[in-house]
Structure 1
């Protein structure tokens, strides 16, 4: 540690935190040029020290070159956690740190007073659209969980953000942190980066599948646990708590997270001393959130258990996470949001179901990458000799399927989501709207810096962009004069408000039709845009909804929509 070319105060702080020797991936990152300004892609398992790699680069760059650092995360909870980690440097007078995650209609000029800005991918996209003046001072960007570029809903935003920042900022250093993925080399080539790839973990991981009360692990070993309740999830959680460990249960819905927390608490509660959790209960009780949720959480925490999902407030999640880190809460039942970067390891991880339901897709199997993200939370450094990740199967045949498809398989390749035309429309308009006069070269430069162009060739990407430009001009979002593109007032506002231009077109056309608008008519208007998920129409509802669509003046007429689509929109609006 002493040999690192870093400020002495920073090195003293690391030693105080107990960091006297670097992990192997951290050493490899140093050798790859981390402290010499090189771009890096670090692909390594959970808890392998990726965050410290980012901290080393930020301290070096910010303190020596007096530039700003951007730390990008996919989730608000993760942004808040990273901000807290950087606060320790602010307390020593090394860096000034800020976090921003909300209000997509502001340029947040106040952030210009800070050295390190932690924010979500969507927030930085909004700041670029609002032309935040301090962005030109950024000299280093850390993209945490960069593999989420492959996410169908949010991946295109991260990709476009990195492409725009790379095209507008000269000599910016990019550190991309990723889970173990199949095509990390391709990501590194796209970012002109050195690749640091490692399978090292501080705590060995065993992955297994449970059927009844028997667990078969990937190393061939078998473990039989006592069946006390007949429910393997409850019994496995109870077993690890009795042995002095902690457990994370990943469920596929918020409802299941609450349900399993309640069931497990009835057995684990006997093993918990109320005095240990009394302060947590009191802190949770005095919140301003809905009293019924706080009361439910207090009753669970009294018994050493909690649930965790995106529906909780930041304060509630913080209390639960801190209680778990301090060993006061023994079991947390959570939706997979907790697997996406939040640092909360446990001795045993239980994956309740590898399937998930979505309105548009129905029931589907989660990606292999997500499965391994959840499994990677098993094993708490300095406390556990090993971690266990266990998926639950109902039959031997299903157990074999889980082993084949998840345990023994490599994660999927990361692919660009800008291939989706809706994403391309939004981000091409944002590129034009974020400059006073955008040239064809500016658009080419932006597109050439995307992962989309890297994977599918720049020529193919530019052909798609030309069609998008014609649409944007036709609908009045941009004007074209020669090779210069300018956003109209409409285009500027649509970009700032984060709306798909096609959705804006739909809204504007329908609003011209509305002469006397009722609440239902405006709700139906909102439900016409693609961003709003539509409810499925049941057979027994068709006659009533069909009559309403055909006869009611409260329903907006469809242009090219079929009757089923209109009924689905109306059902959603009535909700």
Structure 2
């Protein structure tokens, strides 16, 4: 255990009184990665769904033993003393022992709370400064006991003996325990997800409220569902998938236990709206947002900004720059550290030379890879970066496009030596057999051939089942090399000893710093590797200049996507349709203005009042919103239809215009062409090759 020193952290409370409180901080073994905790909590403010909790929650009781006075002794579950920082192997416990431990732990918690007669609900202050009903004990000590019990339960379920120092500090931080919103900002692979899982389990098992885990892509939803399903059956936890066409709206109301809804960004918004409509939003206790920096992306960022309006918000990211603005928007405490479990070395390959990137961004010559005509012709010497790693270690090769993934996979598989081809041959055949059984048709011949040689590709062109089989084979060491696109870097947990970025591009666009950090964050496997390497291949002086500017430049700020008219109009329509607060009525202009000012958009834009007026006039003009004589806004039938269909007002206007024209001018029924044209979604851009169209 690394030594700890005592430090003073400044805490600013809502009464504008500054006080100093002692806090233990960690000084890690390298002496250069101190843990920094920013516990400044901004002003109170009514935000979005703030007052929906007031006097709405009905008293709830946890199951208890009544007058039972029998003392339970927690059975000792035998397992090895495994440090999460030093080993990845974990011994499986029997289900009977784990279930017994979980049940007895919950019984002890219930007995400690002594809830037999007095009801379990107590009013506490949330991170936003708004009073709502929370299942919590009257003393702060019980909250710490809750977290301690869940940590012990989690360690036994996952067979983990110790946490990282920063995880221990974060979980025992009073802001985390008391329900304050938190932003966790640290490197990829540092163990942020473990903290999120423990917080969600506490909310579901002890406080009997459901949680939403928001991730950016369908593939990550499926991976998280698979990982969290481990707790089903061992605890009163239901794990439900909300992605693509999966997920019931509103969700099933569970009589016993709570749910963890794992959802994509769009599905999370629909899920929350459906709960508000049926007056069940109080069921949500925690919302965890993975990759919080995506709040700055165009379309999806605006949706994230809208959904962060209920419960305790836990935002996680490795690439946040304007943390101060985000903490002000979420009214959140910030926990940040530079800790990384495995040392990372960044390198650049230019021509035949390999350079190491120093801490300040300078490039230091390391070695000359040598001349090899054959390899130099094929993929600019990519294979030179593989021969010293494979098959003992694993490699991820990030490619700009899906087609490039397959091309590189084909090239690398043909160059694999016989020793690699013969290695784990039976396991490779089993993986191919699994692919055939999962696929509706025979899998790609290239995929079959490459897997037999320890190589595979991974992109959105594969089905979810095919990607899962490839991921499992990679983690088991059956496949040593995966050629993938940038989406694999954004949350899919596939770390490797060496990361190779085939070109500093995503599609045709230059690689941005956030994407670069996500990719290189996959280098190094805690418990398996003592270090990780990330090598970027540069092909031209132009690419070199762009790359150096990127790594030496700052991270771009997360700017609100509500600046876009389409996003802002959807946001306002949601506000007026849902009437989000029962105490802060969002019907008049002044009330709408208060809500808008508490968004990230309102914080970053001083002229939000003028933009609000313009957008309300637009919504009124196109018939989605009407204004009464007293100045209050309400949605029309058309507006409610647009809201229910999750369309933006701009898209809805285009659809209404098209349908009106078809009704007035007629529909051509001599062929299916006109009907098919009407069915094409507006949000899909189709580039038509008119030469091919004419020939067809």
When normalised by structure 2's length, the TM-score is 0.70
> Aligned residue for 2:687?
535
> Aligned residue for 1:380?
525
> Aligned residue for 2:269?
125
The answer as to whether partners of 1:368 and 1:405 remain within 8 angstroms in 2 is no
Structure 1 position 456 matched with structure 2 position 605 = yes
- Quick one: distance in 1 between partners of 2:348 and 2:497? 16
Q: How far off its partner does 1:12 sit?
A: 4.5
Structure 1 position 257 matched with structure 2 position 390 = no
> Aligned residue for 1:471?
618
- Quick one: distance in 1 between partners of 2:169 and 2:544? 37
> Aligned residue for 1:301?
451
> Aligned residue for 1:246?
394
> Aligned residue for 2:435?
284
- Quick one: distance in 2 between partners of 1:574 and 1:136? 59
Q: How far off its partner does 1:54 sit?
A: 0.8
Q: Structure 1 residue aligned with 2:480, among 309, 330, 335?
A: 330
Q: How far off its partner does 1:495 sit?
A: 2.0
Q: Deviation digits for residues 256-299 of structure 1, max 9, x if unmatched?
A: 11111111111236313222322211100112344353x43222
- Quick one: distance in 2 between partners of 1:297 and 1:310? 14
Relative to 1, partners in 2 of residues 1:462 and 1:309: Cα closer, same or farther, differing over 3 Å?
farther
Q: Deviation digits for residues 374-403 of structure 1, max 9, x if unmatched?
A: 1111111111111111111124x3464255
Matches within 5 A, 1:39-438: 39-103=181-245, 107-110=249-252, 112=254, 114-130=258-274, 131=277, 133-162=279-308, 166=309, 169=310, 172-219=311-358, 220=364, 222-225=366-369, 227=372, 229-230=375-376, 231-232=379-380, 234-236=382-384, 238-242=386-390, 244-268=392-416, 270=418, 271-272=420-421, 273=423, 274-293=425-444, 295-357=445-507, 363-395=508-540, 397-398=541-542, 400-402=544-546, 404-435=548-579
Partner SS state of residue 190, structure 2 = coil
- Quick one: distance in 2 between partners of 1:144 and 1:47? 13
Q: Unaligned 5+ residue runs, structure 1?
A: 358-362, 546-570
The answer as to whether partners of 1:261 and 1:300 remain within 8 angstroms in 2 is yes
Relative to 1, partners in 2 of residues 1:48 and 1:13: Cα closer, same or farther, differing over 3 Å?
same
Relative to 1, partners in 2 of residues 1:327 and 1:449: Cα closer, same or farther, differing over 3 Å?
farther
CA RMSD of aligned residues (A): 3.0
Structure showing greater radius of gyration is 2
When normalised by structure 1's length, the TM-score is 0.84
- Quick one: distance in 2 between partners of 1:68 and 1:449? 25
Q: Deviation digits for residues 153-176 of structure 1, max 9, x if unmatched?
A: 3111111211xxx2xx4xx21110
Q: How far off its partner does 1:187 sit?
A: 1.3
Partner SS state of residue 252, structure 2 = helix
- Quick one: distance in 2 between partners of 1:58 and 1:475? 43
Partner SS state of residue 498, structure 1 = coil
- Quick one: distance in 2 between partners of 1:105 and 1:201? 36
Structure 1 position 447 matched with structure 2 position 589 = no
- Quick one: distance in 2 between partners of 1:189 and 1:415? 13
Aligned pairs, number: 527
> Aligned residue for 2:657?
509
Q: Deviation digits for residues 533-554 of structure 1, max 9, x if unmatched?
A: 35388xxx6xx89xxxxxxxxx
The answer as to whether partners of 1:104 and 1:496 remain within 8 angstroms in 2 is no
Structure 1 position 29 matched with structure 2 position 152 = no
Q: Deviation digits for residues 163-213 of structure 1, max 9, x if unmatched?
A: xxx2xx4xx211100113221232122111111112211111111111233
Q: How far off its partner does 1:420 sit?
A: 0.6
- Quick one: distance in 2 between partners of 1:236 and 1:28? 43
Q: How far off its partner does 1:350 sit?
A: 1.1
Q: Unaligned 5+ residue runs, structure 2?
A: 1-82, 84-104, 106-143, 359-363
Partner SS state of residue 110, structure 1 = coil
Q: Deviation digits for residues 110-135 of structure 1, max 9, x if unmatched?
A: 26564211111100212234335543
The answer as to whether partners of 2:593 and 2:612 remain within 8 angstroms in 1 is no
The answer as to whether partners of 1:73 and 1:119 remain within 8 angstroms in 2 is yes
- Quick one: distance in 2 between partners of 1:240 and 1:188? 45
Choose between structure 1 and 2: higher helix proportion: 1
Relative to 1, partners in 2 of residues 1:375 and 1:155: Cα closer, same or farther, differing over 3 Å?
same
The answer as to whether partners of 1:240 and 1:246 remain within 8 angstroms in 2 is no
The answer as to whether partners of 1:40 and 1:175 remain within 8 angstroms in 2 is yes
Partner SS state of residue 486, structure 1 = strand
Relative to 1, partners in 2 of residues 1:82 and 1:462: Cα closer, same or farther, differing over 3 Å?
farther
Q: How far off its partner does 1:221 sit?
A: 5.5
Partner SS state of residue 338, structure 1 = helix
Partner SS state of residue 299, structure 2 = coil
Q: Deviation digits for residues 293-350 of structure 1, max 9, x if unmatched?
A: 3x43222212211111122211111111111111111111111111111111111111
- Quick one: distance in 2 between partners of 1:269 and 1:276? 18
- Quick one: distance in 2 between partners of 1:390 and 1:398? 18
The answer as to whether partners of 1:305 and 1:330 remain within 8 angstroms in 2 is yes
